[in-house]
Chains A and B, each alone.
Chain A
Amino acid sequence: MEELSRALDDVLRREKSRVVGGLVRLLGSIDAAEDAFQEAVLAAIPNWQARGTPDNPAAWLTTAAKNHARDAARHRRIVDAKAPLLVESDMVSPETIESVSDDELRLIFTCCHPALTLESQVALTLKVVAGFTTDEIARAFLSPEKTIAQRIVRAKKTIEDKQLPYEVPDRAELPERLASVLAVVYLVFNEGHTTREGPLMRLDLQAEALRLARVLCELLPSEPEVFGLYALVAFSFARAATRTDERGEMLLLSEQDRARWDRPTIREGLMALERARRLGGRATYVLQAEIAACHATAPAWESTDWRRILRCYDDLLVLAPSPIVALNRAVAVCMHDGPAAALAAIAELAEPLASYHLFYAMRADFRRRLGEDARDDYGRALDLANNDTERNFLRRQIDSLGRERM
């Protein structure tokens, strides 16, 4: 029984989006597809227990879900346009790989449709594509379960009301729609990387972002930005275990134990990045992945290839000018050209980043390196930071400053 539930869990995680993707196409709505899928899972338990897990669990679940939907339709004597399709399908479902992949891709594009709010896109993607429960999503985002449930219901309603097409966008639309999908995966990853409150990171979200990125690479094998995102997430995931010490306190990149980085995952990232380069990509995700690769492959903080990192930041600032990117670039400036140059580089960011805690934390660090008393900046950073782990880190910096001066 335990073995069965593990097999079932595996299938649900891995195959749910494919199966549900196909069912949405047949049944015309995400709700109907999820209901039918749920029924199929219930039917699977006694059947698989008696006869063992089938060779192709996804096909089995699809067929069972279709049968359930057909029976339900008959029962309600509803004759709608979808009915003939349902009746035609029998127990054998010879889906080609292409049609299955297309279904999954359609589902992802629909869940990440720009007509939905970004928050809804993320919640819906985690629920429908990633197979998270509402409760799991609520815990991951530290929101009440009710809020998440409502968000998902509203999103599904928007899809129906606006009759958002269930399709993979065509060539002309693809770049913009893909940007929206990547933004959702990036947000899932980012939320896993530094949650807004509470502990520093949530590995399940990061693992899911990595999985989603991999799936997208399979489905869209010629898009460099998809591989860039995959690489970026892989590099970060590889370092996740070393971002906090044994007491859960945050460690800076310069303090992390590089020997404990997950080398195979870094290599995965390097392969993905190489693929992105060969596809001719040097847009925002690829550039961020290039920077992360410099860190992931550097033997030590001091011997990081800062010149290369600076070049990437320069390109990134041209493509997507942002004060946050400019702030991160200043770290590389500090390492390459010294803290005085870094302070000069962030001087004009004081206004746009006036309420961003990391601006003060970084300015404090640069000033400290120049031998200045930076307690006021650390104090401002502390006032603005939400994440407990980050706050503890800032407190430790202030404490050590006090000691330095004594």
Chain B
Amino acid sequence: MCLAIPGKLIEISENPEGVRMGKANFGGIVKQVCLEYTPEVNIGDYVLVHVGFALSKVDEDVAAQTYQMLEEMEQLAELDDPEAPDESPASSGVS
């Protein structure tokens, strides 16, 4: 469950009822989000948004580090396992 999408914060404001709101850009689509749960975010930060609420700031440093680890991991796999795996893949291109 829990469809939540990362968007880039482009505006922060307060609505007429005093609720901290903002606008986030999701690949070109701009939508209003409520920022009450992420008081620490600034313009330019990426936030994870669910039902119109930012639930967390995306930690870009951690994202970069963990992604890099993934990219580096692939080389180890190739070193250890240069042959095709012992089971034939269930599907890798259907034709």
A binds B: no
